[in-house]
A and B are shown apart, each in its own frame.
Chain A
Amino acid sequence: DTGVSQDPRHKITKRGQNVTFRCDPISEHNRLYWYRQTLGQGPEFLTYFQNEAQLEKSRLLSDRFSAERPKGSFSTLEIQRTEQGDSAMYLCASSLVRLGTVNQPQHFGDGTRLSIL
């Protein structure tokens, strides 16, 4: 179990630029989640995937945000035309959900901290 891996750990960019983050979940996990955490707050749900299908998106996920999980393994989160309000920690989590079982714990990565200048 190598854990959930996120890259990069830190990203500093100018307002208006595009950024892309990557998440590698635990290998056998079929569910992958993205959360956003702003300073002094708890994480907020953005979106999740079951294998390669994106099944739910939060209202927090504006049109500038897009997430993919093309082969049901790693996932990317892209933010276009970044704004200062996008500055936050972006957390990825994964879990294994089997038919007939519920609420397997989500395992989190260390996050990508995004700073918009």
Chain B
Amino acid sequence: GNSVTQMEGPVTLSEEAFLTINCTYTATGYPSLFWYVQYPGEGLQLLLKATKADDKGSNKGFEATYRKETTSFHLEKGSVQVSDSAVYFCALSDLRIQGAQKLVFGQGTRLTINP
């Protein structure tokens, strides 16, 4: 079945540091890939997505590239801010039009940015 593996957290960085959160996946076919962010006490917000190989998703300074050859979708940001502190989830969903298109999530990576 489909699965997503994220680097274990928690991750603690200083403000303006470079961020990488690793994500690899296992899937049949060609899934779409997503990064969601969850702030304390809130639901999940879509951060970025990529629907096919070599696509780069980007938003709010974050970016991730869909790498089919390495089955990876690593999240990066060049200079993090305190406000980026949250839990980040990598996810995939089935591309099949008639399918459920349900999301399969990784376990999440808690990110803390210190001033």
Contacts and interface: CB of A to CB of B under 8 A. Distances in A.
Interface of A: 4, 6, 31, 33, 35, 40-45, 48, 55-56, 91, 93, 95, 97, 99-103, 105-111
A41 to B, nearest CB: 6
B42 interface: yes
A55 B100 contact: yes
Contacts of A102: 32, 51, 95-97, 101
Interface of B: 4, 32, 34, 36, 41-46, 49, 51, 89, 91, 93, 95-97, 100-108
A42 B108 contact: yes
- Which 6 residue pairs of A and B lie closest in terms of their CB atoms, listed nearest first? A42-B105, A108-B43, A110-B43, A108-B44, A45-B102, A103-B32
Given A103-B51, A105-B49, A43 B100 contact: no
Contacts of A109: 43
